[in-house]
Amino acid sequence: MGADRETPAVPAAEADAARHALVREIVAQGGLTDPAWYAAFVEVPRHLFVPSYYVHGIAGYERLWGEDPDPGRRSRWLSGVYADRALATRIRDGELISSSSQPSLMAQMLEALDVRDGDTVLEIGTGPGYNAALLSHRLGEEAVTSIDLDPEITEPARRHLAAAGHRPTVITGDGARGCPQRAPYDRIIATCTLPSVPQAWLEQCRPGARVLAPFATGLVALRVSATAQGPRAEGHFLHTPAYFVPLRGALPLPAGLPHLGGLPRRAAGNDLFRFLLTLTAGALDPHEALSLWEREGRPQRERYGITVGQGRQWAWLDDPQGPYTWPLSE
């Protein structure tokens, strides 16, 4: 739906004011407590990465872009760029295939990635390149590798990154396979929802590496260890909900939630219960899930976790070897 445009010319003072206002909003929500990430969000201009994006209009999607001759529409574009919300950056045949994530959620994820100076990072899902720029600001561009399946995404991302003064390695390829030629990695961060954890990622990690990825409607943080049977990863979900575009190139995600008819409205509409249903899709009947959920005190996301190892992977509540475990598709 339209070609990617060159970097829009925006008055520096106007862009700086909007960017600082966004950072203040994220800080007010409790984010950006790490000075290094605070500096990255202050200094990396988001508008260079979203020269255009789509919003829902009366007749479907409406495109806003920074080179629009109408000053009112240009103003709407810039206001949207520096609003704390996700932006649809690429749509094909009516389907969203790439976006720029909500900045406050990006800040949470980057801080949860727990990077240290000298770490190398693989990003799965380049999108418009903004997250790769933030990583490059924090760690140096030579430490950052980003991969996306579609050259219509990676080529503009490289241009956006160069315009912002960053040149990390951007690969066009299947993110589910990782990027072995740049391995090993200390951190892997995904910006797309997974149906399962690719074994290739673990094989490309150093022992002790951290993998942070959207799963179901949450974010799981896995620690990778070396065993005689091969790499193993295990960890809990974070507290925050997260909704991302699915990883393309992997097996498809389960086709939505099961039929919720007959369940109490308090459960069917509850975000935490729906998270449990999504996490256990195909492995747990909704009525069984409701009984478990209520019996266990309506658990928050952080009580759940995932284990990958010995040729299988499973989700669990409280204990990976406890009574509540559910297999995940390979």
Taking only the tens of pLDDT, the chain with its 330 residues reads 444 455 667 888 999 999 999 999 999 999 999 999 999 999 999 999 999 999 987 777 889 999 999 999 999 999 999 999 999 999 888 788 889 999 999 999 999 999 999 999 999 999 999 999 999 999 999 999 999 999 999 999 999 999 999 999 999 999 999 999 999 999 999 999 988 999 999 999 999 999 999 999 999 999 999 999 999 999 999 999 998 888 765 544 444 555 566 777 778 789 999 999 999 987 888 889 999 999 999 999 999 999 999 889 999 999 999 999 999 976
Amino acid in position 215: F
Provide the pLDDT for residue 51: 95
Please state the pTM of the whole predicted model: 0.92
For the chain, give every domain's residue range.
12-236
Of 296, 244, 239, the residue nearest 271 (C-alpha):
239
| Residues written for the chain | 330
Query: Which residues are known catalytic residues?
Result: 98
**Which three-class secondary structure state does DSSP give residue 208?**
strand
Provide the pLDDT for residue 309: 92
Burial letters 223-252, b for 16+ CB under 10 A, else e: ebeeeeeebbbbbbbbeebbebbebbbbee
Of 187, 200, 91, the residue nearest 132 (C-alpha):
187
CB neighbours of residue 193 within 10 Å:
22
Please state which CATH number belongs to domain 12-236. Answer: 3.40.50.150
CB neighbours of residue 7 within 10 Å:
17
